């Protein structure tokens, strides 16, 4: 077979091997989360999380913002944030604390399931993400509270466009998101294959090696870690599952890599 034809044939096979397991996972989870949201599950989670917000110096209503982010993604949480009436605007310090919380724990139904399929226990993934997010946000709160830095009101320079009510607009938004994920997968795999062909991938692995070694991550897990760092679990999930199932990465390295990415 001609080398160019073989290149694209292998690329197509890799795209299918990555995309199919990922979408097979994501579509049912997206539907289940939507059903739970319509039944009031997100609001209930927000009520449970509300009292914890005081420990972070945040209004209780931010529990609903975190709940929406946990169930969907950061964009979904921002939509809820902008829809909440606040007696006083959040300070820059409070917004930083909230942002750290959302950044560390978002999209858990999909991302923890991806971690499970890659070889990590879902319960461990949820605990690491939730406790890690809360601990990180608490440390930020303590720092800003003690230093009294950034106490001036935060200026909101961007607002997300809310999704119109109804199942049809929601469905279209999900299709657009899935198409974007597919495009990113195609671009990423093409880029990685080109880097591999010209030897750049080995250079990147060599640069990252000392850092990953300090974290207890072996050379075999470098690709998984690199994909997760650049794309995150949601976008790079299919490739992470594929690499984990290839058999050349130990369970310990999978756990350590996914714990780092989480």
pLDDT tens digits along 77-88: 887 787 776 666
For residue 161, what pLDDT is reported?
65
- Average the pLDDT over 66-85 and give the result: 80
Determine the 3-state secondary structure of 2 from DSSP: coil
Distance between CA atoms of residues 104 and 111, nearest Å: 12
Distance between CA atoms of residues 92 and 65, nearest Å: 17
Which residues sit opposite 157 in a β-bridge? none
Q: Are 239 and 189 in contact (CB under 8 A)?
A: yes
pLDDT band at 50 (very low <50, low <70, confident <90, very high): confident
Residue 110, pLDDT above cutoff 80 = yes
Q: Are 34 and 110 in contact (CB under 8 A)?
A: no
- Average the pLDDT over 31-39 and give the result: 80
For residue 94, what pLDDT is reported?
92
pLDDT band at 100 (very low <50, low <70, confident <90, very high): very high
pLDDT band at 158 (very low <50, low <70, confident <90, very high): low
Residue 127, pLDDT above cutoff 70 = yes
Considering the entire predicted model, what is its pTM? 0.73
Residue 253, pLDDT above cutoff 80 = no
């Amino acid at each position: 077979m001609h080398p160019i034809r073989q290149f694209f044939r292998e690329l197509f096979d890799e795209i299918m091997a990555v995309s199919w397991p990922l979408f097979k996972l994501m579509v049912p989870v997206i539907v289940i989360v939507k059903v739970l949201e319509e039944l009031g599950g997100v609001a209930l989670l927000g009520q449970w999380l509300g009292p914890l917000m005081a420990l972070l110096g945040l209004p209780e209503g931010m529990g609903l913002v975190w709940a929406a982010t946990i169930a969907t993604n950061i964009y979904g949480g921002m939509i809820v944030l902008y829809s909440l009436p606040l007696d006083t605007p959040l300070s820059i310090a409070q917004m930083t604390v909230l942002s750290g919380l959302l950044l560390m724990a978002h999209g858990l139904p999909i991302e923890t399931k991806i971690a499970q399929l890659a070889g990590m226990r879902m319960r461990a993934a949820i605990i690491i993400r939730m406790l890690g997010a809360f601990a990180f946000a608490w440390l930020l709160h303590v720092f800003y509270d003690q230093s009294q830095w950034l106490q001036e009101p935060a200026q909101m320079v961007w607002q997300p466009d809310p999704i119109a009510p109804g199942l049809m607009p929601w469905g279209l938004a999900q299709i657009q998101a899935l198409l974007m994920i597919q495009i990113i997968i195609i671009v990423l795999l093409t880029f990685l294959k080109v880097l591999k062909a010209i030897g750049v991938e080995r250079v990147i692995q060599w640069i990252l090696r000392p850092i990953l070694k300090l974290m207890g991550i072996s050379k075999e897990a470098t690709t998984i870690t690199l994909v997760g760092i650049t794309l995150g679990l949601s976008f790079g999930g299919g490739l992470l599952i594929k690499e984990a199932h290839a058999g050349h990465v130990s369970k310990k390295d999978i756990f350590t890599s996914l714990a780092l990415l989480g």
